[in-house]
DNA sequence: AACAGAATCAACCGCACTCTG
DNA sequence: CCAGAGTGCGGTTGATTCTGT
């Protein structure tokens, strides 16, 4: 079906944001919180499309954004997560404190791709560049099961078997249900509720690994319990890396340990369920 | 100093998904 | 169950900045 434009484009500004526009947007969100992006521009007195406001806020104006260069640990974490998730920039961004999907995507395209290529690694498949020449008769199939504590639990399977271009198929199974995750609570993805990573043999040639990949924005480290840190570390330390990735884990695990309320990061679809802790120290509300 | 090409990154576009009536 | 509205995401574009000649 055709879609109506997201907003009236005839009288909307485009291009770079001015300081005044930024301030209007900040002031409005400070007062009213995020959400209702479609009506926000009018309410805030901005001649901008709602989507543009959302992008500007999420990618640039959010107070918890970390600006500046990516660290080596962040680099490696991005590579590792990309090898597991592909171009799921928003999910990857959820694991990197203060980074946005757009920022990571740009960084990937401008830096990491080249970095991997210089290492002789295909940035798409995370396999050696000459892997295509290697026999595809390798029958080993790795099936990773990831429990994502969002509204549903999902299984992600990476199937290398019978894949012509050597790219793992990531299969997300929405049918799996989570008995432990309470949808009405905004739990960090790495709380004690998460189960330890489990390896589930499926057949002689298949191994199912529970990755415990959760989605969440980072919090400050001083909010992270040791249990959370441990759980996160377990995730990274136990996940089978792609065949070619040799990555220092300690720093990456530290990064992943910085997770936060899911309301903050992804919001609840119903909009009525909230942990009540979604106001941060700067006074901004998130999604709920 | 001037120019060209490369690199970077903010912003846009359109599709897909979810929610709601 | 269906259609439309609202929102989020990933790919792409284009303006700006950087670097080399």
pLDDT 10s digits, A180-232: 333 333 333 333 333 333 333 444 334 343 444 443 434 333 333 333 333 33
Q: Is the pLDDT of residue A249 over 60?
A: no
User: Does the CB of A36 fall within 7 Å of any strand C atom?
Assistant: yes
A127-133, long-range: CB < 8 A, 24+ apart: A127/A166, A127/A242, A127/A243, A127/A244, A128/A243, A128/A244, A131/A166, A132/A165, A132/A166
Percent share of chain A, pLDDT over 90: 0
**Protein-contacted bases of chain C (C-beta within 7 A):** 3-12, 15-16
pLDDT for A232: 39
Which helix (H) or strand (E) segment holds residue A104: the answer is helix A101-107
User: Does the CB of A6 fall within 7 Å of any strand B atom?
Assistant: yes
Percent share of chain A, pLDDT over 70: 41
The pTM assigned to this predicted structure is 0.59
DSSP state of A15: S
pLDDT for A19: 87
The β-bridge partners of A121 are: A128
User: Does the CB of A38 fall within 7 Å of any strand C atom?
Assistant: yes
For A177, A219, A235, the CA distances from A262, given in Å and listed in that order, are: 18, 11, 18
Q: Is the pLDDT of residue A134 over 60?
A: no
pLDDT for A88: 86
Please give the Cα distance from A216 to A91 (Å, whole number). Answer: 8
pLDDT for A12: 73
- Range A255-281 average pLDDT: 37
Rounded CA–C1' distance between A199 and C19, in angstroms: 50
pLDDT for A131: 57
């Amino acid at each position: 079906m055709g879609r109506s434009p997201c907003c009236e484009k005839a009288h909307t500004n485009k291009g770079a944001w001015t300081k005044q526009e930024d301030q209007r947007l900040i002031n409005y969100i400070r007062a009213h919180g995020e959400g209702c992006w479609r009506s926000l521009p009018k309410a805030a007195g901005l001649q901008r499309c709602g989507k543009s406001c959302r992008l500007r806020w999420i990618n640039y104006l959010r107070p918890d954004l970390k600006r500046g260069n990516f660290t080596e640990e962040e680099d490696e974490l991005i590579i590792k997560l990309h090898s597991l998730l592909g171009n799921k920039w928003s999910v990857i961004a959820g694991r990197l404190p203060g980074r946005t999907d757009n920022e990571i995507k740009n960084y990937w395209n401008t830096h990491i791709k080249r970095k991997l290529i210089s290492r002789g690694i295909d940035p798409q498949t995370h396999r050696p560049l000459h892997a295509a020449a290697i026999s595809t008769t390798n029958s080993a199939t790795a099936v990773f099961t990831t429990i994502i504590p969002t509204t549903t639990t999902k299984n992600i399977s990476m199937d290398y078997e019978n894949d012509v271009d050597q790219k793992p198929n990531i299969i997300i199974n929405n049918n799996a249900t989570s008995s432990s995750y309470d949808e009405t609570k905004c739990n960090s993805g790495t709380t004690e509720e998460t189960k330890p990573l489990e390896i589930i043999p499926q057949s002689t040639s298949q191994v199912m690994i529970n990755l415990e990949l959760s989605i969440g924005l980072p919090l400050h480290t001083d909010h992270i319990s040791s249990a959370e840190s441990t759980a996160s570390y377990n995730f990274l330390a136990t996940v089978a890396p792609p065949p070619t990735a040799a990555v220092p884990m300690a720093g990456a695990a530290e990064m992943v340990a910085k997770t936060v309320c899911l309301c903050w990061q992804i919001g609840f679809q119903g909009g009525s369920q909230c942990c009540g802790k979604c106001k941060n120290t700067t006074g901004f509300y998130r999604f709920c």
